[in-house]
Structure 1
Amino acid sequence: MTNRHINKVAVLGSGVMGSRIACHFANIGVSVMLLDIVPKELNAQEEGKGLTLQSKAVRNRIVNHSLETAVKSNPSPLFSKSYLNRISTGNFEDDMKDIAQADWVIEVVIERLDIKKQVFEQVEKYRKQGALITSNTSGIPIHLMIEGRSDDFVQHFCGTHFFNPPRYLRLLEIIPTANTNTEVIDFLLDYGDKFLGKTTVLCKDTPAFIGNRIGVYSMLAVTHLIGQLELTIEEVDKYTGPAMGHPKSATFRTSDVVGLDTMVNVANGLYDNVPQDEAREIFKLPSYVLKMAENKWLGEKTQQGFYKKTKDKEGGTEILVLDLKDLSYRKQEKVKSPTLDETKKVDDLTKRMKVYEEGNDKAGELFRAMHYPLFEYVSKRVPEITDDFFRIDDAMRAGFGWELGPFQIWDALGVKDTLEKIKNEAKRLPGQTGEVAQWVYDMLEAGCERFYKIEEGKKKFYDIKTKSYQDIPGTEELIILDYIRENNTIWKNCGVSIIDLGDGIINAEIHTKMNTIGGDVIQGVNKAIELAEKDYKGLVIGNDGPNFSAGANIAMIFMMAVEQDYDELNMAVKAFQDTSMRLRYSSIPVVAAPFNLALGGGCEFSMHADFVQLHAETYMGLVEFGVGVIPGGGGSKEFALRASDDFKNDQITQNIFRDRFLTIGQAKVSTSAEEAFELGYLQNGKYAITMNRSRLLADAKAKALELANGGYTQPVKRNDIKVLGKQGLGIVYVGANSMMSGNYISEHDQKISEKLGWVMCGGDLSAPTEVSEQYLLDLERKAFLELTAERKTLERIQHMLTKGKALRN
């Protein structure tokens, strides 16, 4: 393979996708040039300033406005606002020549073949030999774009279909032509995976590629079934949401978010371009969807779609739902389903699929009506859209947020067991025969009863060509706990499993609800440290669940506090603190591997680890103020310690202290791994970011090994933490009082602030003094216990437990 490096990228087209693709490349440290067209006329503001069409501000107005809009959007396309300086802007007329510096040129202009060809003609003039050229089209055949282009252009050209928003959706479809150099294909698959953090899926140049072909089929199947099964919009979204392993937005809410016009355009495009598809009629939109499009009820962009946000009589927000009988909006009705109730009892999603399938109510009926035809459909798309069925599963998980792809669900229900059921359900949807593709029957005849199987800690797939199980390409380096847990678990309790990762590294996997930290987890983490110190080289704390940890088990704290069992609570908090300290002062290296939510205690564990190998999308914070307490697992102490380390003779210590104090006092949560560093939760030189979530545990293990083999030495406990005493308390008390007087915080917030200040200042010491970590931990624990004795704190905890959100009382 050519030793190819991507140092500079040119993105041509700055619309919704182009500007956000540019931002994502900036996220990974690449220099980006973003270009767009030159305006044809001045706007009123430009005329008022006396500008002309030759003024640079005018010529770059479109691109600058698009980028500004993207950066202001929520959620942000950038990991850190500071990364904006990695993007330069320009226009096609003045700056196209500068693409000669780019290692990769990405076209993201309007979806018109003639315009794309014009852009590529310009690209051909200026690009350097060997530079990659790709198109982000979602519908135009890739091979049509290269007509008339040079051999070097054609060999380095490919489709790269990012899903929107590019930072957050993991799917990146790679669509080569017959002329694309295999080195280019291999490079893009690898670069997208390791550098951009994507699930890269190799597609054939067929209409809508893989993700939208299957995803839109699945959504439109539901739009046809809803009438047959006499379901309501809210029923469908309840049945096809998280319980089914789909996103919260389910089916119709997803359409509102994406935009009904987008769904209509893709569906119409598919209907026109897949004349040989046996299920083509499914892409013909139901009359109610056409009427909604005609009425411009397109979803969030027009404030109404399948749902409509309004105000009730009291002025509160109310979300109405569309009644398909007369296309009027009405109040949502509560959805009840015995099948749904049964699914709640089953945490394992694979096993939950069987519960759904056997349901005797509308939820079960919809599940069967959706999935049996889907199994037939996806089986027949192989080899039309891909030679390897697992790529369909990859695309649906990464692009549509399904936890299980179609073939994984089929495996869960039993491939052989469903064949007769698929025949019985075929009448539901047009074009379905009930007969799956021949290769599925061949697979069963070859004695292979599943599409996937786990062998020696690796997931293998049934390979149609060899009629045998093969390793899934690109997964050889990954560590998936589900695949090794059975044979590699060396100890476990209700909250933690300790799993041998090999090479002398073990992993403490937390598996409580939301991975909250209670007694079982404290015991398990201590056991892991004990085992690692005795027989292994190092320890990783990580898991494959939805979140790293949502924090301490506040239900347990609430119960002890309500019963006024303060001795027990004191012991529990001390055990938590001692565990945090043991993570730091053990004789082996400890690497935390946080991702998604790493809040409260999850953040404190990470802050005390020797190293943090975290996913780029990590939302880390000390959020204890929201439940009326201060961080009690070492977090308050740790921020005092880090403030002390930041104190410099040439800096104003009060400002450093204030910033640290406010991060906890305002319960700031990072919106990315990089922002976690900016907020002080991570330390320079003690963290690294993994872009691809699938690679996190493997990267954490590699780091633990590196630390161990590099001669890890147990750190010495700190006795030199400079605290400000009364000098700092004055800042805290004056600030909290003024905030309370201005009605920015409540009286209870003021009390919590003063408790936090007391800890971080080391109490009311008469002058700045050096103290030990244990001294601060004792203050932290005392303040925490005193706050749990407050009625308003108990109200906050109870509100969080019952309502799932913070109470400001």
Structure 2
Amino acid sequence: MSNKILVRRAAVLGAGVMGAQIAAHLTNAGVDTVLFDLPAKDGNPNGIVDKAIAGLAKLSPAPLADKALAGRLTAANYETGLEQLAGCDLIVEAIAERMDWKQDLYRKIAPHVASHAVLASNTSGLGINKLAEVLPEELRHRFCGVHFFNPPRYMHLAELIPARSTDAAVLEGLETFLTTTLGKGVVIAKDTPNFIGNRIGVFSMLAAMHHTGQFKLGFDTVDALTGPAIGRPKSATYRTADVVGLDTMAHVIKTMADTLPDDPWHQYFKAPKWLAGLVEKGALGAKTGAGFYTKRGKDILVLDLKAQDYRASAGELDADVAALLKERDPAKKFAALRASAHPQAKFLWACFRDTFHYSAFHLKDIAETARDVDFAMRWGYGWSVGPFESWQAAGWKQVAEWIAEDIVAGEAMSNATLPDWVFDGRDGVHSTDGSYSPGRDTMVPRSSNPVYARQRFPDALLGEKFSQGRTVFENDGVRMWADEGDDLAVVSFKTKMNTVSDQVLDGLQEAITRAEKEFAGLVIWQAKEPFSAGADLSGALGLLQANDIKGFDAMVANFQRTSQRIKYSQVPVVAAVRGLALGGGCEFQMHAARTVFGLESYVGLVEAGVGLLPAGGGLKELAVRASDAAGPNGDVFAELKTVFETIAMAKVAGSALEAKSLQLARKDDVVVFNAFELLHVAKAQARALAESGYRPPLPARRIQVAGDVGIATFKMLLVNMLEGRFISEHDYEIATRIATVLCGGEVDRGSLVDEDWLLKLEREHFVALAQMPKTQARVAHMLQTGKPLRN
């Protein structure tokens, strides 16, 4: 029996930035959600919440996966709405970080909470046991902390913090809900200030700030050193502080000082002079337009402490240090950093050393295992590897000796000794048996919560290897594989960005042939995002520049043949999409028997951006769908309006839900919130189709088209846009040809055509556009800059 929590309805208390976005994400996931706040002083008592809901549409990145979902949120206030809590199965409190305010609210709501409901506090660092003290006895075992990271839709980490009284079954049920329904990576943290992510993350920022002063580096230089160069996000250290808000940053540091009096690093838990100075001046970062950085016109300027003013941001890495960071072998890299006399290298070694030291010293107090710390930093702070993984990869024993030497020499930030377990002869904290737990003094395997059986390839930690299945067939473009004894096969691309090359086209056709003979179904799934960035443009451009029009036409025909092969396969082909699915990648999923999308799927037929039109069967498929939707004597043109605009403007859906409203996905396609569960769900869909006696659709031989009248109507729209200078002459040319294919060519309105007719039209117009100099300029520009050219 699994400990399921059935969440029919949820409430979020607090309509501030975090609360409103948590409510938005619950709504994304199909959970009926009520958002509460204080009653408004005048007018509608729910005014504060209404304003917060309206504000969701303006935020970027978008908290709502589809703007229309804002209308599904229910607004309520603590004076007139508390009886609504009785119908809620999950209540997430997300008000300001003040113990007294939170406890007052708990006293107020407790009488209204249902006897089975779970109450969770979204706090970033307050004591969970202390919060629980004011709850009635019967509610305490259903209370815990759940800490979402900002922005909640996109950040994978959710920290679960049990109180002493939390029921184990409640915790397991909530972990399951967070993982599958909301798509989170859950880490269980102990009830210590700032939990895991912020405890280590804020310390690593404080260490970087301390060493900025010690090695006299500019803020922009530190950001160049602590960003992608070491596998961290672009916002690095000071840009991150600006985004978070320097007042918030100062508050978090003060909280550490107040709540961790015995921490051996306590003397560093104060805002550096310059941070405090900026806060005093009201320069709080991005929200006030100035912090460590400011914008003047288009230029980004950085604060220069010596000049007490902003200067142009250069932030150059020293060439030698940059070369050293490119070293692939972590052991060599760390040895070089420690040996270097360059201030930039010394800064980096010092930051790594102090973060390793801090993480090891506190591991036993803050987390069950080293795995929890590494995942918290990867999922919550966007580090490509966690602190313990970095240390282990660089040679555990050697790095431990160096840290110990620096502590003795007084160079480390604290003279606290490393724990004994660091030196017990181990080579690291992660192994195939699990991850080290100082509390239990043993290696602990991954969680046995049944929800994790849904992850065939979970996020792998250093040293973890998952079976790649047996190879059924492989060429330079794809690998087809299956698990031992499984009657479903998987095919994955091997190209850069999973683009579609000739080898991918041939490989897919071969994979389908084999699946028809040997398997019950086939899933197209990529081990790494994106699903596919579309056709291999450089190969196509090569054929054009060599003036090999025949070869070019053959390539397009092969593309269409592959899409049709997917559609008419005798076994179900299911596409498992996450990340980008552009152009040909989008067309493949349109032809699959079903598509399973990860929520963060960015889908689009973007060919117009490079001066072309979709020709892998995408326009044909949309024409078929329009004909089906219109019915025998219906208005096909009405069904084409949305898709014409989507394609002519090369729109990309901002989520899988938006892909449905743009008609690039079908109503019955499935959306999965946890990317690590995508393969599991896609295989389940393929199996369900196979088990129900799957047959491919019958060939579409009577497709009703909008014909010449449809083309003329679209052209009128385009002429107005051309005359208003909204589009260029070449845009007009491309859009007219898109309209021509969608409407079935210059035939009478209501004519019946077949798929071959539409595919031939696609090919003709695609090849014609490809030969135009302006299109070739667009393709070349995209290949060089990665940005579209408007000519």
**CA 1:228–1:424 in structure 2 vs 1: closer, same or farther (change >3 Å)?**
farther
**By how many angstroms is 1:286 displaced?**
2.1
The one-letter code of the counterpart of 2:430 is: Y
The one-letter code of the counterpart of 1:22 is: A
**CA 1:593–1:102 in structure 2 vs 1: closer, same or farther (change >3 Å)?**
same
Bigger Cα displacement from structure 2, 284-293 vs 6-15: 284-293
* Aligned ranges 1:327-726 → 2 under 5 Å: 327-333=308-314, 335-336=316-317, 337-338=319-320, 340=322, 355=333, 358=336, 364-426=345-407, 431-433=413-415, 435-442=417-424, 444-445=425-426, 449-454=427-432, 460-464=434-438, 465=440, 467-468=442-443, 470-474=445-449, 475-480=452-457, 483-484=465-466, 488-502=470-484, 503-648=486-631, 652-685=635-668, 687-726=669-708
Q: Distance in 2 between matches of 1:635 and 1:82?
A: 26
**By how many angstroms is 1:745 displaced?**
0.5
Contact 2:92 2:119 in 1 (8 A): yes
* Aligned ranges 1:135-154 → 2 under 5 Å: 135-154=121-140
Contact 1:357 1:364 in 2 (8 A): no
The one-letter code of the counterpart of 1:262 is: T
* 2:750 equivalent in structure 1: 768
**By how many angstroms is 1:485 displaced?**
5.8
The one-letter code of the counterpart of 1:272 is: D
* 1:166 equivalent in structure 2: 152
Contact 2:218 2:315 in 1 (8 A): no
* Aligned ranges 1:284-295 → 2 under 5 Å: 284-295=270-281
**CA 1:36–1:486 in structure 2 vs 1: closer, same or farther (change >3 Å)?**
closer
Unaligned 5+ segments in structure 1 are: 41-52, 312-316
Q: Distance in 1 between matches of 2:53 and 2:115?
A: 29
**By how many angstroms is 1:224 displaced?**
1.6
Contact 1:547 1:597 in 2 (8 A): yes
Unaligned 5+ segments in structure 2 are: none
Pair 1:216-2:188 in alignment: no
* 1:314 equivalent in structure 2: none
The one-letter code of the counterpart of 2:714 is: V
Q: Distance in 1 between matches of 2:327 and 2:688?
A: 42
**By how many angstroms is 1:382 displaced?**
1.9
The one-letter code of the counterpart of 2:435 is: F
Q: Distance in 2 between matches of 1:715 and 1:68?
A: 43
* 1:46 equivalent in structure 2: none
Pair 1:240-2:226 in alignment: yes
* 1:806 equivalent in structure 2: 788
Match of 1:617, SS state, is strand
- Count matched residues: 776
Contact 2:354 2:412 in 1 (8 A): no
* Aligned ranges 1:723-762 → 2 under 5 Å: 723-762=705-744
Q: CA offsets per residue over residues 276-332 of structure 1, 9 Å max, x none? A: 222233333322222222222222101112221111xxxxx1111222433421112
Contact 1:647 1:653 in 2 (8 A): yes
Match of 1:620, SS state, is strand
Contact 1:357 1:367 in 2 (8 A): no
Q: Distance in 1 between matches of 2:518 and 2:261?
A: 63
Q: CA offsets per residue over residues 102-121 of structure 1, 9 Å max, x none? A: 11222222222222122111
Match of 1:382, SS state, is helix
* 2:263 equivalent in structure 1: 277
**CA 1:423–1:572 in structure 2 vs 1: closer, same or farther (change >3 Å)?**
farther
**By how many angstroms is 1:369 displaced?**
2.5
**By how many angstroms is 1:425 displaced?**
4.9
**CA 1:525–1:376 in structure 2 vs 1: closer, same or farther (change >3 Å)?**
farther
**By how many angstroms is 1:177 displaced?**
1.0
Contact 1:522 1:579 in 2 (8 A): yes
Q: Distance in 2 between matches of 1:61 and 1:230?
A: 50
Q: Distance in 1 between matches of 2:468 and 2:46?
A: 59
Q: CA offsets per residue over residues 142-189 of structure 1, 9 Å max, x none? A: 122222432112111111111122111121111111111112111111
The one-letter code of the counterpart of 1:396 is: M
Contact 1:725 1:768 in 2 (8 A): yes
Match of 1:73, SS state, is coil
Contact 2:222 2:237 in 1 (8 A): yes
- RMSD across aligned positions (CA): 2.5
Q: Distance in 2 between matches of 1:533 and 1:280?
A: 65
* 1:780 equivalent in structure 2: 762
**By how many angstroms is 1:192 displaced?**
0.7
The one-letter code of the counterpart of 2:576 is: A
* 1:21 equivalent in structure 2: 22
Q: Distance in 2 between matches of 1:425 and 1:579?
A: 61
Q: Distance in 2 between matches of 1:150 and 1:523?
A: 66
Bigger Cα displacement from structure 2, 183-192 vs 567-576: 567-576
**By how many angstroms is 1:125 displaced?**
1.9
**By how many angstroms is 1:501 displaced?**
3.6
Match of 1:93, SS state, is coil
Contact 2:56 2:64 in 1 (8 A): no
Q: Distance in 2 between matches of 1:545 and 1:340?
A: 27
Q: Distance in 1 between matches of 2:679 and 2:88?
A: 33
Pair 1:264-2:247 in alignment: no
Q: Distance in 1 between matches of 2:200 and 2:69?
A: 35
Contact 2:636 2:705 in 1 (8 A): no
Contact 2:3 2:172 in 1 (8 A): no
Q: CA offsets per residue over residues 647-690 of structure 1, 9 Å max, x none? A: 136853322222221111111111111111111111122x1111
**By how many angstroms is 1:625 displaced?**
0.9
Match of 1:200, SS state, is strand
Q: Distance in 1 between matches of 2:175 and 2:241?
A: 29
Contact 2:160 2:189 in 1 (8 A): yes
**CA 1:708–1:327 in structure 2 vs 1: closer, same or farther (change >3 Å)?**
farther
Q: Distance in 2 between matches of 1:328 and 1:281?
A: 28
* 2:36 equivalent in structure 1: 35
* 1:45 equivalent in structure 2: none
Match of 1:506, SS state, is strand
Bigger Cα displacement from structure 2, 364-373 vs 699-708: 364-373
Q: Distance in 2 between matches of 1:362 and 1:489?
A: 50
Q: CA offsets per residue over residues 619-651 of structure 1, 9 Å max, x none? A: 111111111111122212222222222213685
**By how many angstroms is 1:565 displaced?**
2.1
TM-score by length of 1: 0.91
Bigger Cα displacement from structure 2, 661-670 vs 584-593: 584-593
Contact 2:577 2:596 in 1 (8 A): yes
**By how many angstroms is 1:536 displaced?**
2.5
Q: CA offsets per residue over residues 510-554 of structure 1, 9 Å max, x none? A: 243322222332233233323323333322222232422222222
Q: Distance in 1 between matches of 2:677 and 2:309?
A: 48
* 1:323 equivalent in structure 2: 304
Q: Distance in 2 between matches of 1:553 and 1:343?
A: 31
Q: CA offsets per residue over residues 236-269 of structure 1, 9 Å max, x none? A: 3233323432222222222222212221111111
